[in-house]
Amino acid sequence: MIHRRKFLLSTAIWLAGTSLTRATVIRNDMPWDPFPSSAPQMERPGPWQFFTADEARTMEAIVDRIIPPDPETPGGKDAGCAVFIDRQLKGPYGSSEGLYMLGPFIKGTKEQGPQSSLTPAELYRKGLAALDTYCKVNRGGKAFADLSTDEQDDVLKQIEAGKIKFDEVDAEGFFSALLQNVPEGFFSDPIHGGNRDMAGWKMIGFPGIRYDYRDWVNRHNERYPYPPVGIGGRSDWTPRKG
Amino acid sequence: MARKLPAKDVAIIGLGWTGSIMAYELADAGLEVIAIERGPWRNTPTDFPPNFAPDELRYRIRHELFLRPEQTTFTFRNKMDQTALPIRTWGAFMPPNGVGGGGVHWNAETWRFLPSDFVLRTHLTQRYGAGFLPEDMTIQDWGVTYDEIEPYYDRFEYLCGTSGQAGNIKGKIIDGGNPFEGPRSRPYPTPPQDQPFSHTLFAKAARDLGYKPFPQPSGNLSRPYQNPLGVRLGPCTFCGFCEWFGCGNYSKASPQTTILPALLRKPTFSARDNSEVTRINLDGTGKRATGVTFVDAEGNEWEQPADLVILSAYTIFNVQLLLLSGIGKPYDPVANAGVIGRNFSHQTISSVDSFFEPGKFIFNPFIASGAIGMCIDEFNGDNFDHGPHGFVGGAYMGQVQTNGRPIETTPVPPGTPRWGAAWKKAVKENYLSALKPGTGVHGSMYSYRDVYMDLDPTYKDRFGRPLARITMDFHDNEIKQNAFLTDKFAEIFQAMGAKQVVKHYRKGPYDVTQYQTTHLCGGAIMGTDRNTSAINRYLQCWDVPNLFVTGASGFPQNAGYNPTGTLAALAFWAANAIRTHYLKNPGQLINA
Ligand SMILES: Cc1cc2nc3c(=O)[nH]c(=O)nc-3n(C[C@H](O)[C@H](O)[C@H](O)COP(=O)(O)OP(=O)(O)OC[C@H]3O[C@@H](n4cnc5c(N)ncnc54)[C@H](O)[C@@H]3O)c2cc1C
Ligand code: SF4
């Protein structure tokens, strides 16, 4: 049924792109292994891994508009949302690893889901470039990051409303990705590079991964008093940048 | 060429919930059993220990425990005249992968279907007349009754240690349980879970409105439990990372926590992981399976001969493998003939978000488990008179909120901007006092002539074989049903004292990007007539009697409940038929 050569070729391609382990035969005992084989990598502060310096400057401006700072809680920039997105785009998410990426790529209905061949990494690269180009042409020769925050908000609002279009890439699609990824950076576990000092969790009163609330399930309508804990430990242990 | 392995008595395709049950039962009967599983072996300390299992981004948002669409996916369209396009990233449902299957990362909401669900067409026709059903609705009776499989529901619940409150023991209605459930032979093995604040508030409001609320039957255990196989589970700690996640506490019933340790002790059992079955092989007559062919992660192709083949790969993979193996006549919706792919269905889910006075209501939504909740069943199945409403079907509904994980569960009132200072403020203000019960209205989806599966003409998998194609849309019956039920549901939140209740009705078209549940049903359904069903009442393939197909692919339509209690009960029921009848006289169990 399967043509042998074609099959071998496609399998080789497929394997190269995944982290599948070896097939094993299991019998007689639970294949017990006491330690994690899938422990997460901790993203540490440090140089940009995906963004260029210019892109990073634009991104930090954007994330601070999507989640602006206020007197009690840092904004997207200080919460590490741009760092989070940088690490995500460098990793498997950025290259659409594991997704079905065979053609033909045909635009379908909304109900049929995304059909773009563009990876998130390509989308950000093109989106950020197009945003700066737009601003330079239409906003007095300035890059997005050099606009006032009011002007930045205005540009983003117009993109959201479909009033600003980019040539290179779907501006609204880029904005949707931002609306997905920036809150991810604000609220995901700090090991992924965002939510620095658990700022997002502290803001809302989410205690993170405490995992055991048996003492609390029957304490109704009472504020849970303990500070958040993450995979990497408590917020006061989290490495600070610089 | 595929390398040939020594023959076994039984080859099992997929080691998820039903594969594990079948493997245990058949190895226990002394048969040589091999289970072949597409994904990796998974275990608590290696794959989801409590120090990193609760990672919302990794498991919920990036789908780490699920199948990679790159390995296999499906194409999708709403209507037969559209071109189906591939599902490039999962949305409406999440196909499991790896040992334990969906059992690893399910919620463990452990329901039974209503007695009338099993004789649906007969029941509805008798009560409302045949003209009440839409003409293109293809619902059928199952060929088994509730009473026949009750002992096997009981087997599954005692395997899992399910925590719940019985509502009907041998016909006696019990206060605090679900008065609408079919009679059960004994109480649940463990008492119901404790309920957080919002869940109790829902129950009180429901009671005040005249309903009979009860705790959702839960496979997140209320206390330690040792099952009849000698496997032990610990108590659930309400960690709030349950659905989509593995449990770090051995508290969630799964093949890992209930069967596999005992199964591995059976000397006649073995398993292969990271090995995908690519077809079921037939002999020259096409009426007998000779075994299976599979490809391991290194790309080696193997042939595993076996006398008996169990297909337990989950609904859509069961149908895909039958189509690709040329077993059974593919369904043709135009001629309304053929059986493989027919009567495919999913679920009709909706919910409401509700906003309460901040500070006055502190719900601590992060204190929850996957199957927590207080529910009512007044509007499920045919528990109410559908005559005045002009639709059939129903739902259980409840405050079943399973988490307060902040990427997913930070509802804001309508009219709030999607970003910026106002959004941030609304998230902060409402987090502790808003409710978002994901699958609040858990509605049925009945089957229709133009909702089905077949092979796609264009898109291929990595082996160059056609992807299976899903054609599915909501029909008026389900849209009407959902509007009625969502309104009823919203009334309860209003009565709880919400200052604003926002209804999210389920409307068409069916959207493959919107998660509902992973309760796909049908496509290889059971029944009494081989012209309209793929398998008989013992899950035995009509055309190939040494092949049994387990899982919800056998459901002729979906009910207003989660499917696993029922599909597990049917697996035990089929295993019993194999042990007591088939092995003595291998052949067709039904003379039709
Ligand atoms: C997020 C989530 C939450 C859920 N919550 C609930 C709930 O609360 N209550 C409920 O009742 N149900 C729930 N379900 C559904 C439940 O998981 C399934 O009903 C149940 O697991 C089905 O059992 P099964 O044996 O048919 O398939 P599975 O348990 O899915 O097992 C099938 C196995 O077959 C393997 N396989 C597939 N194709 C091949 C192949 N070609 N070769 C080899 N192996 C193959 C798969 O990798 C998988 O391991 C949930 C599902 C999900 C995804
Ligand atoms: S909610 Fe309970 S059963 Fe579910 S993962 Fe957490 S501890 Fe385990």
- Note the pLDDT of residue A238: 53
Q: What are the structural domain ranges in chain A? A: 53-207
| Total Cβ atoms within 10 A of residue B418 | 13
Closest in B248, B407, B462 to A11, CB measured: B462
Q: Which residues in chain B touch residue A217, judged by CB atoms under 8 angstroms apart?
A: 194-196, 238, 367
Domains of chain B (ranges, CATH numbers): 3-582 (3.50.50.60)
| Total Cβ atoms within 10 A of residue B186 | 11
- Note the pLDDT of residue B435: 98
Question: pLDDT per residue over B504-525, tens digit each?
Answer: 999 999 999 999 999 999 999 9
Query: Which positions ≥6 away from B230 have C-beta within 8 Å?
Result: B262
Inter-chain touch B45–A109, beta carbons under 8 Å? no
Cis peptide before B134 (omega within 30 of 0): no
Could you give the count of Cα atoms lying within 13 Å of B340 in the half-sphere of its Cβ? 23
Q: What mean pLDDT is predicted for residues B529-544? A: 98
| Residue ID of nearest Cα to ligand 1 atom 49 | B101
- Note the pLDDT of residue A14: 40
Give the minimum alpha-carbon distance from B124 to chain A in angstroms, rounded to a whole number: 32
- Helix and strand element counts for chain B (H, E): 11, 23
| Residue ID of nearest Cα to ligand 1 atom 20 | B102
- Note the pLDDT of residue A7: 38
Closest in A18, A26, A109 to B270, CB measured: A26
Give the minimum alpha-carbon distance from B477 to chain A in angstroms, rounded to a whole number: 20
Inter-chain touch A10–B463, beta carbons under 8 Å? yes
**Ligand nearest the Cα atom of residue B321:** 1
Mean residue pLDDT of chain B comes to 97
Q: What mean pLDDT is predicted for residues B50-66? A: 96
Q: Is the dihedral of CA B172, B174, B177, B180 positive or negative?
A: positive
Answer yes or no: is pLDDT of B399 > 80.
yes
- Note the pLDDT of residue A22: 85
B320 pLDDT band, cuts 50/70/90, is: very high
What is the end-to-end Cα distance of chain A in Å, rounded? 59
**A2 to chain B: nearest residue by CA?**
B463
A233-234 and B441-443 strand pairing:
unpaired
A9 pLDDT band, cuts 50/70/90, is: very low
Q: What mean pLDDT is predicted for residues B550-565? A: 98
Tokens 């997460």 belong to residue:
A40
Closest in B238, B267, B427 to A204, CB measured: B427
For chains A and B, CB pairs below 8 A equal: 271
Give the minimum alpha-carbon distance from B382 to chain A in angstroms, rounded to a whole number: 31
Q: 3-class secondary structure for B531-566? A: CCCCECCCCEECCCCCEEECCHHHCCCCCCCCCHHH
* Of A160, A116, A158, nearest in space to A139 by CA: A158
A55 pLDDT band, cuts 50/70/90, is: very high
Question: How far does the centroid of ligand 2 lie from the alpha carbon of residue B242, in Å?
Answer: 5
Burial class of A139 by CB neighbour count within 10 A (0 to 12, 13 to 18, 19+): middle
- Note the pLDDT of residue A19: 42
Q: Which residues in chain B touch residue A66, judged by CB atoms under 8 angstroms apart?
A: 419-420
Q: Which residues in chain A touch residue B69, judged by CB atoms under 8 angstroms apart?
A: 98-100
Q: Is residue B459 within 8 Å of residue A102, measured between CB atoms?
A: yes
Inter-chain touch A212–B41, beta carbons under 8 Å? no
Answer yes or no: is pLDDT of A20 > 70.
no
Q: What mean pLDDT is predicted for residues B256-276? A: 97
Give the minimum alpha-carbon distance from B260 to chain A in angstroms, rounded to a whole number: 8
Please state the pTM of the whole predicted model.
0.96
Predicted ipTM?
A: 0.95
Inter-chain touch B407–A184, beta carbons under 8 Å? yes
**B275 to chain A: nearest residue by CA?**
A23
Inter-chain touch A217–B238, beta carbons under 8 Å? yes
| Ligand 2, residues at Cβ distance < 6 Å | B 220, 236-239, 241-242, 245, 247, 249, 251-252, 369-370
Structure tokens at B437: 């019960």
Q: Which residues in chain A touch residue B27, judged by CB atoms under 8 angstroms apart?
A: none
Question: How far does the centroid of ligand 1 lie from the alpha carbon of residue B387, in Å?
Answer: 36
Ligand 2 atom closest to Cα of residue A212: 7
Q: Which residues in chain B touch residue A181, judged by CB atoms under 8 angstroms apart?
A: none
- Note the pLDDT of residue A31: 80
**A67 to chain B: nearest residue by CA?**
B420
Single-letter code of the amino acid located at B103: G
Question: How far does the centroid of ligand 1 lie from the alpha carbon of residue B40, in Å?
Answer: 14
Q: What mean pLDDT is predicted for residues A205-209? A: 97
Q: Is the CB of B47 under 6 A from ligand 1?
A: no
Which residues of B are tagged catalytic? 519
Q: Is the CB of B101 under 6 A from ligand 1?
A: yes
Question: pLDDT per residue over A104-145, tens digit each?
Answer: 999 999 999 999 999 999 999 999 999 999 999 999 999 999
Q: CA–CA separation, B110 vs A33, rounded Å?
A: 30
| Residue ID of nearest Cα to ligand 1 atom 50 | B106
- Note the pLDDT of residue B427: 98
- Note the pLDDT of residue A16: 37
- Note the pLDDT of residue A45: 87
Give the minimum alpha-carbon distance from A1 to chain B in angstroms, rounded to a whole number: 9
Q: Which DSSP symbol is given to B83?
A: P
Answer yes or no: is pLDDT of B397 > 60.
yes
Q: Is residue B315 within 8 Å of residue B566, measured between CB atoms?
A: no
Q: Where are the beta strands (DSSP E) in B400-498?
A: 434-435, 441-443, 452-460, 466-471
Answer yes or no: is pLDDT of A15 > 60.
no
| Residue ID of nearest Cα to ligand 2 atom 8 | B247
Answer yes or no: is pLDDT of A239 > 80.
no
Q: What mean pLDDT is predicted for residues B559-577? A: 98
Q: Which residues in chain A touch residue B46, judged by CB atoms under 8 angstroms apart?
A: 33, 35-38
Q: Is the CB of B37 under 6 A from ligand 1?
A: yes
Answer yes or no: is pLDDT of B592 > 70.
no
- Note the pLDDT of residue B44: 92
Answer yes or no: is pLDDT of A4 > 80.
no
Question: How far does the centroid of ligand 1 lie from the alpha carbon of residue B16, in Å?
Answer: 6
- Note the pLDDT of residue B197: 98
- Helix and strand element counts for chain A (H, E): 7, 3
Q: What is the signed CA dihedral for A225, A230, A236, A237, rounded to 10 degrees? A: 150
Q: What mean pLDDT is predicted for residues A3-18? A: 39
